[in-house]
Amino acid sequence: TSVRCGYLEDETATLALGKAFAEAAQAGLVVYLLGDLGAGKTTFTRGLLTALGHAGKVKSPTYTLVESYPLSHYSVHHFDLYRFADPEEWEDAGFREHFGQDSLCLVEWPDKAADLLPRADIVLELAVAGNGRNYRLLAHSETGQSCLIRLSI
């Protein structure tokens, strides 16, 4: 598996990582975002969405569990499963249909729905380090690997 890692000294650097990732990404990718509250998972997502042409706000989907963004190239679904508790809700809410070759899915707190979620192509780990954040990107599939190879950071 391929790995990319580095240091993000401020919020701008996290947004820039999201942008670089957007430029390397493709529809069909499933990305798990790991890290404590405040690690920068939603900030990274905001950088990615802005780079893909989203102009409005990026809300943290803490209560809604998912926010969907129908963008010009493909749809992005941003999950935050911190409060996910009821496996039946997964089917009832139609979350499964969000995953597929036509969309890019980003998932915060994937461990909360581990048995229901499709496997990750890429895992991004973020951790507070000093005033900034350490990050690590790991590819877990060939699609994920080719994305990391394209990544210009």
Does 38 engage in binding with ligand ADP (CB under 6 A)? yes
Task: Using the rule CB under 6 A, give the single segment among 18-26, 95-103, 116-124, 131-139 that binds ligand ADP.
Answer: 131-139
CB atoms within 10 A of CB 38: 11
Extract the tokens encoding 147: 């994305």
Identify which of residues 36 and 102 has a Cβ nearer to ligand ADP in the complex: 36
Q: Which residues pair with 90 in a beta bridge?
A: none
- What DSSP line would sit under 55-122, residue for residue? -S-----TTTSEEEEE-SS-EEEEEE-TT---HHHHHHTTGGGG-STTEEEEEESGGGGTTTSPPPSE
Task: Count residues binding Mg ion (CB under 5 A).
Answer: 3
- The 56-75 contact track toward ligand ADP, x by CB under 6 A, reads ----x---------------
- The 32-71 contact track toward Mg ion, x by CB under 5 A, reads ---------xx-----------------x-----------
* Amino acid letter, 102: D
Does 98 engage in binding with Mg ion (CB under 5 A)? no
Among residues 4, 22, 34, 42, the one that binds ligand ADP under rule CB under 6 A: 42
